[in-house]
Amino acid sequence: MGDNRLMIKVTVNDRLYELQVDPELRLVDLLRDELGLTGTKEGCGKGECGACTIIMNGKTVNSCMVLAFQADGSEILTIEGMGDGEELHPIQEAFIRQGAVQCGYCTPGMVLSAKAILDKNPNPSEEEIRKGISGNLCRCTGYQKIVDAIKDAAEVMGGGGDER
């Protein structure tokens, strides 16, 4: 540590951080341990479960598979940046309304994948939604209420999808 630390600048949830990071530090650890943003979960640590999903430069990534220094200069959105601290994001509201949260471990990753889906297509089909969250494993819900929540959010957010 120390000597070979790298200086990075990264914007997380609209806040700019300038940090010294160990070259081996993973992004998930930077977020959770150094920035205290523990909403991002680590499941497998191997890019297989999607629990650690965040949005980096507009795309979902598994934050366990990215080294912190690789995030230099990037814009990151984590679950903490979805609502504004007072109000939840409409996607989060829809997850609650539809009962899409059970243990909650997959939820932060699911919500960010949902956002990425809706950013790309505000009115996605069931198939597109299922494809879009297929990298996020959920052991509790059977996915149906998550899919429903994303449809619901699409409607609320103005996509207007009704091909249920």
Partner 1 sequence: MKKRGVGIASVMFGFGYGEGFPDHSTASIRIKPDGRVEVKTAAADVGQGVLTVVSQIAAEILGVPVESIDLVNGDTAVTRSSGSTSATRQTFFTGNAVMNTAQILRSIIFDLAVKVYGKTYPELYFENSCVVPHGAEEKKISFAELAKIAAERGEKLEAEGSYFPITTPPDPSNGQGERVYVSYTFVTTIAEVEIDLGTGQVEVIRMVAAPDVGQAIHPQNVEGQMEGGSAQGIGMALMEEILFDEYGTLLNPNLSTYLIPTSLDVPRMQTVIVEDEEPLGPFGAKGIGEPAMISTAPAIINAIYNACGVRIKELPATPEKILRELKKLAAGN
Q: How far is the CB of 21 from ligand FES (least distance, A)?
A: 18
How far, in Å, CA of 5 to CA of 72, rounded?
13
Does 143 participate in binding ligand FES (rule CB under 6 A)?
no
Cβ neighbors of 120 (< 8 A, separation 6 or more) are none
User: Residue 6 binds which entry of ligand FES, partner 1, none, with Cβ cut-offs from 5 to 8 Å by kind?
Assistant: none
Which one, 23 or 104, has the nearer CB to partner 1? 104
Residue 49: Cβ within 10 Å count: 22
Which element (helix H / strand E) includes 153? helix 144-156
User: Residue 145 binds which entry of partner 1, ligand FES, none, with Cβ cut-offs from 5 to 8 Å by kind?
Assistant: partner 1
User: Residue 106 binds which entry of ligand FES, partner 1, none, with Cβ cut-offs from 5 to 8 Å by kind?
Assistant: ligand FES
User: Residue 142 binds which entry of partner 1, ligand FES, none, with Cβ cut-offs from 5 to 8 Å by kind?
Assistant: partner 1
Select from 13, 10, 11, 12 the least CA-distant residue to 81: 13
Cβ burial of 25 (10 Å; 0-12, 13-18, 19+) is buried
Q: Which parts of this chain interact with partner 1 (CB under 8 A)?
A: 43-44, 46, 48-49, 99, 101-104, 126, 129-131, 133-147
Binding residues for ligand FES, rule: CB under 6 A, are 42-45, 47-52, 62, 64, 101-107, 138-141
